[in-house]
Amino acid sequence: MAKRMKVAVAMSGGVDSSMTAALLKEAGYEVYGVHMLLSPDHNPEHNISDLESTCELLDIPLYKLNFESEYQREVIDYFCKEYALGRTPNPCIACNRHIKFHLLLDRALKMGAHYLATGHYARVKGSLDGFSLLKGIDTSKDQSYFLYTLGQRQLQYLLLPLGNRRKTEIRNLAGKLGLPTAKSPESQDVCFIRDKDYRPFITQRIPLKSGDIVDSEGRVLGKHQGLALYTVGQRQGLRLATKERYYVIKLDAATNRVVVGSEDKLLSSSLTAGKLNWIAGKALKKISGITAKIRYRSPEVRVKLYTCDSGVEVKFDEPQRAITPGQAIVFYKGDVVLGGGVIEG
């Protein structure tokens, strides 16, 4: 009898990772769950309880791995530092890059796994030219944006069984199997912040320095309480005694100023991006038909790429609203994720 392939499934206590384990076991793999202990706020008791019940029901072992110090350094400290610099970070991408598909992958392989599986809605495709990352077929749930930092080494070990399915189907299957996670809520945006407001979290961790709120001509309109409390595109909470409707158009860390302007000043037809990662392992040569997303929920738009000192200059066919330094821009060719980088300006 052929030896069964072992798969470590990254399990959070939610329906997606639970069904990932169930589908792979049904497909004949030898499955075990790995749960990352990341921070007290990240691992609520009801999640752990549901997770343990799910593994018991599926009759698979569960291993809990402590990555708290690494998560603090690579995700939470990075998150706070970026805000202090007037940038808006994406902690999910940092977690995928440094924790899930580096530390966890290495640990799973050392534990004897042949593959690591996650509940992301995306697909991996192998060919003679290497591995490609593709969007998930459920366009409302596609999570390929968060995986642009992956490369050939990670993709060869990665299984994403939900990429060919829709979320409604996954919830229905979980219900039929009687999984405790079948009705679990959707995961929140920043998993280590319990309510959606990041500001109290930031103010407890980094010193804030007040400064001027100015218009694009440099005229002082008011005072801000610290750059970390603002983000590009923000309108609420500026507390300006003006009739005009102002939006944050820039956070200037060098002068500690929040720059505001009218809504039309949020539109831009180009950006520069650095810290690039190309999934194929090499930079793009001239290629047509590239699209890009400047944030997870933004629509894809056609772009042209030009190399520059910091990485690439991206020109959009249609101006984009509130391009935000620190966020990721991800490039696509049809369903294939080409790679991406961090927006610099």
Per-residue pLDDT in tens (0 to 9) along the chain, 345 residues: 356 899 999 998 889 999 999 999 999 999 999 999 998 665 555 578 889 999 999 999 999 999 999 999 999 999 999 999 999 999 999 999 999 999 999 999 999 999 999 999 999 999 988 999 999 999 999 999 999 999 999 999 999 999 999 999 999 999 999 998 887 777 766 777 777 788 888 999 999 999 999 999 999 999 999 999 999 999 988 998 888 899 999 999 999 999 999 999 999 999 999 999 999 988 877 677 899 999 999 999 999 998 887 789 999 999 999 999 999 999 999 999 999 999 998
The pLDDT of residue 1 is 38
Q: Is 191 designated active site?
A: yes
What is d(CA 117, CA 105) in angstroms, rounded to the nearest whole number?
9
Q: For domain 207-261, give the CATH number.
A: 2.30.30.280
Beta carbons of 246 and 261 less than 8 angstroms apart: yes
What is d(CA 184, CA 272) in angstroms, rounded to the nearest whole number?
39
> In b/e form, how buried is each residue of 111-145, taking b as 16+ CB within 10 angstroms?
eebbbbbbbbbbbbeeeeeebbbbbbbbeebbbbb
Domain residue ranges in the chain = 6-177, 207-261, 267-343
Task: Please report where in the chains the tokens 């530390």 appear, as a residue.
Answer: 103
The amino acid at 198: Y
CATH superfamily of 6-177: HUPs (3.40.50.620)
The pLDDT of residue 267 is 96
Per CATH, which fold does 267-343 belong to?
Elongation Factor Tu (Ef-tu); domain 3 (2.40.30)
Q: Which of 80, 92, 95, 308 is catalytic?
A: 95
Q: Is 92 designated active site?
A: no
Q: Which of 55, 92, 191, 308 is catalytic?
A: 191
Task: Please report where in the chains the tokens 């959009």 appear, as a residue.
Answer: 316
Nearest alpha-carbon partner for 248 in 325, 164, 159: 325
The pLDDT of residue 188 is 64
